[in-house]
């Protein structure tokens, strides 16, 4: 009987998590990407469907559901169809070990697997199989090149990624994601063993960006040279599944970075006066924007909303800390704040750096990040050994 209830619970959780991925990471993620890209490029982004264009991606999904699936005559049909599903499922499996927060004694995580981060990196690298399969099965030259590039890039960056994870595992002394967050109660890992925590975080984030094929490491899908790379031949919902998998993966990487280096769901332990200063600065900027009339500019409105939200957060934190409440806000708030901050960072990077060349990309991985990661590991190990 116990088996049956566990299986039922697992099925329910799968449905919940899949819905979360489809709605929050894929739909809202695409919306965020388009809106922030629009803001960075001084244009509006989606704005007609729903308030501030919020429902645009839902409309897009409905549209994609009605689009014909075209399978190229020369394609390998079975693998061609399986590839997008594989990528989406790999994106889903990543999230099994991501803890969203802690309410009382319950940690909001699907399963706290004892080898959590190792499992995560294993599942994240499943994506490459799906991408390579899709690129190969299309029997399209662009797609094959995109798939091959994706494979070489993702295997190259797998190792710096793993070294970043190893650094955290070494400092925390555990591989469980929940354990890693709990180990940061005193100090977030990005600040511990300075400056090596920062170095590890930078190594990890760079490798993670490359691992999810985002700009400046978007060679596999470089629009201007490979059309769309490995999904050039995919239409309609199959294309959407690739997108879903990709966004699920990108968000999962952001979530893992937040968990490993930014304390996951833990509240930042800042003094009240700092919150007050931040809050006042935020209010000042908002008032300045409103008074100067800049707030009427449509382009500035999304960023004004973002600013107002962060200001509100600072003010709430100030009063909370002042009143002496220990966790002022429920922990998922902090997890999502940190995750979305990192997602924002990824989008920001997209419009800041041009795409790398393949040799530069591989050089960065093998000649910079790999030695840096190994040395970082050794030096930190040395410092920890000496400190005892």
Give the whole-angstrom CA distance, residue 347 versus residue 177: 25
Per CB under 8 A, contacts with another protein among 82-111 are 84-85, 88-89, 92-93, 96, 110-111
User: What is the rounded CA–CA span in Å between residue 136 and residue 128?
Assistant: 12
368 is a site residue for another protein (CB under 8 A): no
Q: Please state, in angstroms and as integers, the Cα–Cα distance from residue 345 to each residue in 230, 251, 263, 287, 303, following that order.
A: 25, 12, 17, 25, 14
Tell me the Cα Rg of the chain.
22
Which segment (10-18, 188-196, 201-209, 260-268) binds another protein by CB under 8 A? 10-18
In the DSSP assignment, the letter for residue 354 is P
Inter-residue contact 144 to 135 (CB < 8 Å): yes
- The DSSP call for residue 101 is -
Write out the binding residues for another protein, residues 304-363 only, by CB under 8 A.
358-359, 362-363
Per CB under 8 A, 73 contacts another protein: yes
Say what the alpha-carbon torsion angle 184, 96, 65, 214 is, to the nearest 10 degrees.
40
Asked if 3 interacts with another protein (CB under 8 A), we say yes
Q: Which stretch binds another protein (CB under 8 A): 4-12, 27-35, 278-286, 327-335?
A: 4-12
CB of 290 to another protein, least distance (A): 43
- Would you count residue 68 as binding another protein (CB under 8 A)? yes
Positions 106 through 135 that interact with another protein (CB under 8 A): 110-115, 118-119
Euclidean distance between the first and the last CA atom of the chain, given in angstroms as a whole number: 49
Q: Find the binding residues for another protein in span 137-166 (CB under 8 A).
A: 138-145, 148, 151-152, 155-156, 158-159, 162-163, 166
Q: Does 78 bind another protein (CB under 8 A)?
A: no
CA 15, CA 353: separation in Å to the nearest integer?
37
Q: How far is the CB of 377 from another protein (least distance, A)?
A: 8
Cα separation of 186 and 117, whole Å?
A: 21
Interacting residue with another protein among 237, 270, 276, 349 (CB under 8 A): 237
Place of tokens 């319950």: 106
Backbone angles phi, psi at 107, to 5 degrees: -90, 130
Indicate whether 17 belongs to the interface with another protein (CB under 8 A).
yes
Q: Under rule CB under 8 A, how many of the chain's residues touch another protein?
A: 87
Beta bridge partners of 107: 102
Smallest gap from residue 138 Cβ to another protein (A) = 7
49 binds another protein (CB under 8 A): no
* Contact between residue 332 and residue 198 where contact means Cβ atoms under 8 Å apart: no
Restricting to residues 272-311, which ones interact with another protein according to CB under 8 A? none
Please tell me the distance from the alpha carbon of residue 274 to that of residue 286, in angstroms, as a whole number. Answer: 18
Regarding 175 and contact with another protein (CB under 8 A), the answer is: yes
* Least distance from another protein to the Cβ atom of residue 298, Å: 33
User: Residues 6 or more apart from 235 whose CB is under 8 A from it?
Assistant: 67, 68, 69, 70
Contacting range for another protein; rule: CB under 8 A; set: 39-47, 275-283, 291-299, 373-381: 373-381
| Nearer CB in complex with another protein: 203/337 | 203
The answer to whether residue 77 forms part of the interface with another protein (CB under 8 A) is no
The answer to the question of residue 65 lying near another protein (CB under 8 A) is yes
By CB under 8 A, is residue 372 in contact with another protein? Answer: no
Nearer to another protein, 36 or 172 (CB): 172
């Amino acid at each position: 009987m116990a088996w049956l209830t566990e299986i039922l619970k697992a099925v329910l959780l799968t449905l919940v998590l899949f819905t979360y991925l489809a709605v929050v990471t894929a739909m809202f993620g695409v919306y965020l990407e388009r809106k922030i890209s629009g803001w960075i490029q001084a244009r509006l982004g989606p704005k007609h469907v729903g308030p501030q264009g919020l429902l645009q991606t839902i409309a897009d999904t409905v549209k994609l559901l009605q689009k014909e699936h075209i399978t190229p005559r020369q394609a390998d049909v079975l693998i061609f169809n399986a590839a997008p599903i594989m990528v989406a499922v790999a994106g889903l499996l990543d999230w099994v070990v991501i803890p969203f927060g802690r309410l009382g004694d319950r940690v909001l995580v699907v399963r706290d697997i004892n080898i959590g981060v190792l499992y995560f990196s294993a599942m994240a690298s499943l994506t490459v199989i799906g991408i390579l399969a899709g690129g190969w099965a299309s029997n399209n030259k662009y797609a094959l090149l995109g798939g091959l590039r994706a494979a070489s890039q993702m295997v190259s960056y797998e190792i710096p990624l793993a070294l970043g994870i190893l650094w955290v595992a070494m400092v925390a002394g555990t591989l469980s994601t929940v354990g890693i967050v709990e180990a940061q109660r005193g100090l977030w890992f990005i600040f511990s063993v300075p400056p090596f925590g920062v170095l590890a975080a930078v190594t990890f984030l760079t490798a993670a960006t490359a691992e999810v094929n985002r700009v400046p490491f978007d060679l596999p899908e470089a629009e201007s040279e490979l059309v769309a790379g490995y999904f050039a031949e995919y239409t309609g919902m199959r294309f959407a599944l690739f997108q879903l998998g990709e966004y699920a993966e990108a968000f999962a990487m952001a979530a893992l970075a937040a968990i490993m280096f930014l304390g996951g769901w833990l509240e930042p332990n800042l003094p009240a006066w700092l919150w007050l200063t931040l809050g006042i600065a935020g209010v000042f900027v908002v008032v300045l924007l409103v008074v100067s009339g800049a707030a009427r500019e449509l382009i500035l409105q999304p960023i004004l909303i973002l600013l107002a939200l962060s200001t509100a957060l600072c003010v709430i934190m100030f009063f909370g800390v002042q009143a002496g409440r220990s966790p002022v806000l429920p922990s998922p708030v902090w997890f999502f704040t940190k995750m979305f901050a990192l997602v924002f960072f990824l989008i920001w990077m997209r419009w800041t750096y041009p795409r790398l060349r393949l040799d530069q990309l591989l050089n960065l991985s093998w000649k910079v990040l790999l030695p840096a990661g190994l040395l970082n590991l050794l030096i930190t190990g040395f410092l920890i050994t000496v400190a005892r």
